[in-house]
Structure 1
Amino acid sequence: MYGDETRAKTVLYTALFAALTAVGGWISLPVFAVPFTLQSLFVILASCVMHKKAVYPVLLYVGAGLLGLPVFHNGLSGIGVLFGPTGGFLLGFIPAAFIAGVLFAKEKDIAAAVSAVLIYDAAAVLWFMLTASASFPAAFIACVLPYLAGDAVKAAAAVLAARRLRRMHD
């Protein structure tokens, strides 16, 4: 029975966090070339709750968007979004969720949240440089600089959530 409960919880959390990430994309403020969304918050929160299994909802989310479901920012979908300026964030969410999840499982909450931000931001900058033929400074200004404060708030929220959830389970 225990294995069935664990599988059911994994499926439930996978669906929940994939849906929350999609909703986070629909809450979008157009800022510069890349919109400000709450997708990354839910990726980090999934890592906090699901640990390394947080990669499941991220893969489901990205896969659903690639298959045409309107789950990306502003209800967009398709492979064109992946090859656009925000594609690096989407691709970066995958390793970010896994690595942050491993760190959250080890109760390294700050390192987990910061690593998630660094990973998806690095992927975004590299992808933007590739797809937009931009220099590193231009990509950094477009993909990271305007969002540093928001990323810090999202990371702090995830750390607080991790600590609260851990206290609830202890």
Structure 2
Amino acid sequence: MINVAQKNKVRDITAIGLMVALLCISSYIAFPLPFTPIMLTSQTIIINLIAITMNTKNGVLSIIVFYLIGAIGLPVFSGGRSGVGTLVGPSGGYFLGFLLTVLVITLIKGKNLNLKKSIILTVFVGMTMIYICGAAWMGYYNGLSFMENLKVSILPFIPGDLIKCVLASFIGVRINKIYGVGNE
């Protein structure tokens, strides 16, 4: 007979695997933009979904597993890229931002996460951290001035990211209500 601890462990492993799979798939929903080396992807939807629906340990593990399978050569990063070089290349700061976003949001979201609070967290905490980490690394890596960096790393992505935050929040809050996850 399976006890509660074993049942929860199986549920956690399944949830981590599902989120890693969704993150891998979201990396392939990507469009190159001619004025920036950063691809427009649906990854931020899944990053925010992980932050909204998972606890800290499982959320961070999801991101780390994603990084590890990409680092060893599986083509799971945006545009089908892989390898450690991708993690430390021009868009490497965004990878750090993904991890920090999941870590911080899972730590501060609390137990009663509604749509409004979720949108506020994903936009003002999540996207801010992703932009700061991504833009800082992009600017350093490419030797861009502050204004050049702003034009390449942040401004083109704001409208789409706002939509992605609302979408992730809507889906995540519904998942939490239906399955009672993310608040343990």
The amino acid across from 2:165 in the alignment is A
Root-mean-square deviation (CA, aligned residues, Å) is 1.6
Q: SS of the counterpart of 1:92? A: helix
Q: Distance in 1 between matches of 2:73 and 2:165?
A: 30
Question: 1:125, 1:136 within 8 Å by CA — same for their partners in 2?
Answer: no
Question: 1:128, 1:139 within 8 Å by CA — same for their partners in 2?
Answer: yes
The amino acid across from 2:15 in the alignment is Y
| Correspondence list, 1:47-126, <5 A | 47-52=51-56, 53-106=58-111, 107=113, 108-114=117-123, 115-126=125-136
Q: Distance in 2 between matches of 1:51 and 1:145?
A: 31
- Which ranges of structure 2 fall in alignment gaps of 5 or more residues? none
The amino acid across from 1:168 in the alignment is I
The structural deviation recorded for 1:104 is 3.4
The structural deviation recorded for 1:83 is 2.3
Q: Distance in 1 between matches of 2:29 and 2:6?
A: 35
Question: 2:97, 2:129 within 8 Å by CA — same for their partners in 1?
Answer: yes
The total of aligned residue pairs comes to 170
Question: 1:99, 1:112 within 8 Å by CA — same for their partners in 2?
Answer: no
The structural deviation recorded for 1:98 is 1.2
Question: 2:53, 2:176 within 8 Å by CA — same for their partners in 1?
Answer: no
Q: SS of the counterpart of 1:88? A: helix
The amino acid across from 1:150 in the alignment is G
Q: Which runs of 4+ in 1 moved over 3 A?
A: 103-106
The structural deviation recorded for 1:169 is 4.7
The structural deviation recorded for 1:55 is 1.1
Question: 1:83, 1:131 within 8 Å by CA — same for their partners in 2?
Answer: no
Q: TM-score, normalised by structure 2?
A: 0.85
Write out per-residue CA displacement over residues 26-79 of structure 1, whole angstroms, 9 at most, x where no aligned residue: 111001321101111111111111132311111111111111111101111112
Q: Which residue of 1 aligns with 2:30?
A: 28
Q: Which residue of 2 aligns with 1:168?
A: 178
Q: Distance in 2 between matches of 1:35 and 1:111?
A: 25
C-alpha change, 1:161 and 1:103, in structure 2 (3 Å) is farther
Q: SS of the counterpart of 2:54? A: helix
Q: TM-score, normalised by structure 1?
A: 0.92
Q: SS of the counterpart of 1:77? A: coil
Of structures 1 and 2, the one with the larger relative CO (CA 8 A, separation 6+) is 2
Q: Which residue of 2 aligns with 1:19?
A: 21
- Larger of the two Rg values belongs to structure: 2
Decide which of 8, 11, 32 is 2:10's aligned counterpart. 8
Percent of residue pairs bearing the same amino acid type: 25
Question: 1:125, 1:143 within 8 Å by CA — same for their partners in 2?
Answer: yes
- Which ranges of structure 1 fall in alignment gaps of 5 or more residues? none
